[in-house]
Chains A and B, each alone.
Chain A
Amino acid sequence: MMQLLRDARLVCAKDLRIEIRARIVIAQVLPFGALVLILFAFTLDADSSVLPTIAPGLFWITVLLSSILAVGRSMAIETDNGARDGLRLSAMDGGSIFLGKVGAVVAELLVLEVLLLSGTFALYDIAARGWLALIATSLAATIGIAATGAVYGALAAGAKVRETLVPLLVLPVCAPVLLGATKAFESALHGRSGEAWPWIQLLGVFAALYLTAGFVAYEALLEEA
């Protein structure tokens, strides 16, 4: 068990080190997310009260779209230079590799969310409150999205059509996350944090389910890819 977590931490640290050196997520995915937030405002009447009302939904759609890019990047670093073979030869358990990769994507997405959320508050003129619920929602939803993304990223690994296939696979599966996170944010921002918790529980169940599925299946997927 300890070995498992140690291996997971190794993989996670490796992915984050690559990210810190290459700065793909910060220099490309984050600007993409910010751009989406701004473009949303263009399609809606910026002066009306529409933006603050639907801001939670827009924020989570932005996160979901950005996460597709982050997951793609997470898989791409294994594809290049035959890194996947290195992982397979490392004698690490597939489950720990999965946890490590999810951990790295979660860390990247959380940074992204903090920055995008600040942007949302500023751009869409929202007063932040219900912090505890906001943080719990973000954690649960992000783990769910990252776990789903890692599973499907591994499923589609090695395919020429990976870039177009992963969104089609991940987005419908993540529909409950989008719904739950949006509803939880709405409740929290309207000062009704109590209503957010059932949704957060749903997000937690989703995250646990896909973490388990990925943990079990990753070894086989890594072998086959």
Chain B
Amino acid sequence: MSTTTKNAPRRSSPVLGLLVFAGIVATVVMGLFIAPKDTVQGDAYRLLFMHVPAAWLAYLAFGVTAIASLLYLVPRTRHLRWDYLAGASGEIGVMFTALMLAVGSLWGRPIWGRWWAWEARLTTTAILLFLYLGYLALRRMGGSPEQRALRSAVAGLIAFVDVPIVHFSVSWWATLHQDGSVFNSKMQVHIKDPSMQFTLLLGVAAFTLLYVYLCIRRMQLLELEEGMADRELQAAIDDRQLGVVSGASSGASQADASANSPVTI
């Protein structure tokens, strides 16, 4: 049983990994060399080939975290696998939210003339990042796997429910504060060129595959990490028992020395 679960994904992963790699390389080549320069934004617009897929991936990842959390909370579908999925997806979401913000800032500097604008979408995204950073911190809190799974499932759902409220309040606040249309009109990038459209779609597809790949890998790792403490403890007990047996035959001094050895192994 355990060998099949260990081996099955390992066999399929290289194919998926190669596909992801090819997709990313193709996106880079298309985005940097084949797609033409934008008449208004010049080369800066090329950042969108990364920004848009990253944004899509972040929302996808947080959506999956919420669904997996819900599935864990429903008693009929409760399984630790949903917790691994929620955790893996949450981590990827945080990473790509940060990437989206960073790339967006790099783009905003030449186009808007500033790194950051207190615009509704940006502010919501920043709070989103912190919401899920908290979620990840909660996951690392310790306790039994079941404790962690329940807590993080509740937190994952709460964070997800909070997102629309944050967005609603922030957009309300931003429109009251400043002219949103300045940024909105510039944030709309009309992509008409077919090679630009294709590159954008390619980027989204490649990033989606990347998400699936990272998610599978991370879930495997989480599953392995889970049993690690138990296995290490078992190994230490085995070592110690071996040490005591061999030590008993050759004297007390050696038994003392072997008592320390499991710690170093």
Closest chain B residue to A160, Cβ basis: B142
A139 CB to nearest chain B CB (Å): 18
Which residues from chain B contact A158 at a C-beta distance below 8 Å?
Answer: 143
Which residues from chain A contact B176 at a C-beta distance below 8 Å?
Answer: 183
Cα–Cα distance between A183 and B177 once the two chains are bound (Å):
11
Is chain B's binding surface mostly helix, strand, loop or mixed?
helix
Cα–Cα distance between A5 and B133 once the two chains are bound (Å):
36
B42 within 8 A of A: no
A151 CB to nearest chain B CB (Å): 7
A173 within 8 A of B: yes
Which residues from chain B contact A198 at a C-beta distance below 8 Å?
Answer: 172
Which residues from chain A contact B157 at a C-beta distance below 8 Å?
Answer: 213
B114 CB to nearest chain A CB (Å): 22
Closest chain B residue to A203, Cβ basis: B169
Choose the segment among A23-31, A65-73, A89-97, A161-169 that binds chain B (4+ C-beta atoms closer than 8 Å): A161-169
Which residues from chain A contact B143 at a C-beta distance below 8 Å?
Answer: 158-159
Q: Are B127 and A172 in contact (CB under 8 A)?
A: yes
- Which interface class (under 10, 10 to 19, 20 to 34, 35 or more) fits A? 20 to 34
Could you list 11 examples of A-B contacts with CB < 8 Å? A151-B154, A165-B134, A168-B130, A168-B133, A168-B134, A169-B134, A172-B130, A172-B131, A175-B166, A205-B165, A220-B150
Give B contacts to A, CB under 8 Å: 127, 130-131, 133-134, 137-138, 141-143, 146-147, 150-151, 154-155, 157-159, 161-162, 165-166, 168-170, 172-173, 176
Give A contacts to B, CB under 8 Å: 151-152, 155-156, 158-161, 165, 168-169, 171-173, 175-176, 179-180, 183, 198, 202, 205-206, 209-210, 213, 217, 220-221, 224-225
- A sample of 6 more A-B contacts (CB under 8 A), given A169-B155, A179-B173, is A156-B151, A161-B137, A179-B170, A202-B169, A213-B154, A213-B157
